[in-house]
Amino acid sequence: MNKKAETITPPEKAKHIQVPEYKELLTRMKRRYEKVGRNLPILEMELARLQMISDTIESKTSFVKELYRLLKNLHPFYRSLVFLEFDETKVQKYIECIFKARKLAQYFEKKYRYILMAQEERKAIKKKASEARGRMLSPIKRCSRGLLYLKNLVVYLSHLPGINPSLPTIIVAGPPSVGKSSFVASASRARIEIAEYPFTTKDIHVGHTTINGEEIQLIDTPGLLDRRLEERNEIELKAITALKHLKGIIVFLLDPTETSSYPIPVQLEIAEDAKSVTGNKPFIYTVSKIDLVPSKTLSNTIELIKAKTGRTPYTVKANDPKSVHDLIRGIIGSHVEKQGSSM
Ligand SMILES: Nc1nc2c(ncn2[C@@H]2O[C@H](COP(=O)(O)OP(=O)(O)OP(=O)(O)O)[C@@H](O)[C@H]2O)c(=O)[nH]1
Ligand SMILES: [Mg+2]
């Protein structure tokens, strides 16, 4: 895929997909129904109306081709996010329902064209036309629930963050309240919610910054709790999805303060769990909130992390743009990785 095509993200594509509800489809037909073929003889009028119904079903459900293609080619990151929220089997079933309804509408339109032409009496033409309308509409009516489900899916997809896989990326992860959102906001001035209480971030957010003339993408993730992967809730799984499926450098923040959600050894266990899904992406242990602890506590924390991981952690004041930019410059310098991807 070329670079330009890659920058058109699935959420942007989803914004152009219009999924109608069944009642909208019906309203549109009703509005046009009386006007179609009004001045024509009865047979031609009914034929024109059948054609109009078939055309409306065809045009108003043509989104299904686009949606099918979009879902089929979805990058694993977006795929995971979508199917955390929506049932994949249902989505398949609903898409099939609509494809089938489109086919049947055309089939009955053709079939009844001949049936109507074979009628001689006005009453018989009307009766057969009404039968045709029923047979053309009932398959799409049966997809009513599916149309609504897919409409919600498209809205959800269109609100996901647009991630450009061709940019160097930093994924910021860690337990709750360690300063992940502060870090991304400091680096990028993205408008991200930051608060004193944990679980503020419930979705994945993206920010951008320029370091040494190069655009860097930063991903803010929800906080990770101390529990096994299979016990994680949907919000935590969004963070896991980013760690697993996006290419980039992972900055894992740890909170050394007394008010942290967990003591450092537990935060390191969370880090190990997170690391286990990241493959061989660079994983940067970083102590945050360094302005809030005495230097002795900071050096003890650094020693503890060194002892447990064999790596010297970086340090940062996550709510200070200069400190964050210095850190990013440092890690980009030592982990220069052009992140080509299959997104
Ligand atoms: N003094 C100081 N405060 C910080 C620092 N980093 C974050 N904070 C504060 O810590 C609190 C939590 O920060 P957030 O950035 O929302 O933390 P988070 O990791 O995104 O939290 P969740 O989204 O809830 O997981 C906020 O009140 C921040 O202002 C830091 O380095 N120094
Ligand atoms: Mg946050």
* Nearest atom of ligand 1 to the alpha carbon of 183: 15
Q: How far is the CA of 271 from the centre of ligand 2 (A)?
A: 16
How many A from CA of 204 to the centre of ligand 2? 9
Residue 324 CA: which ligand is closest? 1
Indicate the residue among 158, 185, 215 that finishes a domain.
Answer: 158
Long-range pairs for 232-240: beta carbons < 8 A, 24 or more residues apart = 234/84, 234/85, 235/199, 235/202, 235/203, 237/80, 237/84, 238/81, 238/84, 238/202, 238/203, 238/204, 239/173, 239/204, 239/274, 240/274, 240/277
End residue of a domain, out of 158, 182, 211? 158
Measured from the Cα of 197, ligand 1's closest atom is 24
The pLDDT of residue 340 is: 41
Q: What is the pLDDT of residue 46?
A: 97
Whole-number Å distance between alpha carbons of 212 and 222: 28
User: Ligand 2 centre from 261 Cα, in Å?
Assistant: 13
- Residues 114 and 50 grouped into a single domain: yes
Shared-domain flag, residues 206 and 316: yes
pLDDT tens by residue, 5-47: 356 799 999 999 999 999 999 999 999 998 999 999 999 999 9
Q: Which residue range is the domain that position 118 belongs to?
A: 3-158
CATH code for position 22: 1.20.120.1190
CA 319 to ligand 2 centroid distance, Å: 12
- Ligand 1 pocket member 176 (CB < 6 A): yes
Ligand 2 center to residue 159 CA distance, Å? Answer: 18
Where residue 248 sits, what CATH number does that domain have?
Answer: 3.40.50.300
102 assigned to some structural domain: yes
Ligand nearest to the CA of 317: 1
pLDDT 10s digits, 143-186: 999 999 999 999 999 999 999 888 899 999 999 999 999 999 99
Residue 95 has pLDDT above 50, yes or no: yes
Mutate to test the pocket of ligand 1, among 171, 182, 261, 325 (most ligand atoms within 8 A of CB): 182
Predicted confidence (pLDDT) per residue in 297-337, tens digit: 999 999 999 999 999 999 999 999 999 999 999 998 777 54
In the predicted structure, residue 342 carries a pLDDT above the cut 70: no
Query: Residue 73's pLDDT band (boundaries 50, 70, 90)?
Result: very high
- Ligand 1: does its nearest atom lie under 6 Å from the Cβ of 179? yes
> Average of pLDDT values for 183-197?
91
| For residue 122, pLDDT beyond 80 | yes
Q: Do 284 and 202 fall into the same domain?
A: yes
Question: Cα of 259 to ligand 2 centre, how many Å?
Answer: 16
Cβ of 267 closer than 6 Å to ligand 1, yes or no, is no
Task: Return the ligand number nearest the Cα of 252.
Answer: 1
* Residues bordering ligand 2, an ion, CB closer than 5 Å: 180-181, 200-201
Give yes or no: residues 81 and 132 share one domain: yes
